[in-house]
Amino acid sequence: MEITIYLAGQIHDDWRNDIKNKAKSKSLPLHFVGPQENHERSDHIGVDILGDQPNKLFIDDAASSINNFRTQLLLEKSDAVIALFGENYKQWNTAMDAGLAIQANKPLILVRPESLIHPLKELSNQANITVETIDQALDILAYVYE
């Protein structure tokens, strides 16, 4: 049985490839989806498709509209969500995606460093499980197949 996982979180390093490779090496029938990982492409997708916008506000809004279209579609097709937080960036879109997933009854794994316990406490309490590493998140997914 294939399970589809939405990988919510920052797109500034290649943590998603890490998790995909580890899943592959364990031969787990997991299918991963997520946001556009090319940061520049993600920020300019609005202008790329819709054309020039009047100012920074509307450049951002145009990009977000397309990124949210993608997220809404893929989140709906997913069976569970992993939301990763790190010490950099605001990551409010990750927290919003986690809220969307919880309300849509998608089981949620939160990955965050120990240093973020306090500011993520409400989200951690609503997630099914909170872990500190990607390996732990993958262990949980592997456990579903045991």
As measured in angstroms, the least distance from the Cβ of 122 to its own copies is 4
Applying CB under 8 A, among 104, 111, 115, 134 the residue interacting with its own copies is 104
Residue number with CB closer to its own copies (18 or 117): 117
Total count of residues recorded for the chain: 146
Give the one residue of 28, 44, 86, 124 binding its own copies; rule: CB under 8 A.
124
Interacting positions 74-103 with its own copies (CB under 8 A): 74, 76-77, 79-80, 85, 89-93, 95-103
Burial letters 67-95, b for 16+ CB under 10 A, else e: beeebeebbeebebbbbbbbeeeebebbb
Q: What is the dihedral of CA 5, 92, 41, 79, to 10 degrees?
A: 10
Q: Of 28 and 36, which CB lies nearer to its own copies in the complex structure?
A: 36
What's the min distance (Å) between Cβ of 17 and its own copies? 15
Q: How far is the CB of 137 from its own copies (least distance, A)?
A: 9
Rounded Cα gap, residues 135 and 112, in angstroms: 12
Residues 10-69 that bind its own copies (CB under 8 A): 31, 33, 36, 38, 41, 45, 48-50, 54-58, 60-61, 63-69
Q: Are 124 and 114 in contact (CB under 8 A)?
A: no
Complex with its own copies: residue 15 or 78, whichever CB lies closer = 78
**Size of site (CB under 8 A) for its own copies:** 74
SS3 category, 132 = coil
- What is the spatial distance between Cα 75 and Cα 121, in angstroms, rounded to a whole number? 23
Residue 31, classed as helix, strand or coil, is: strand
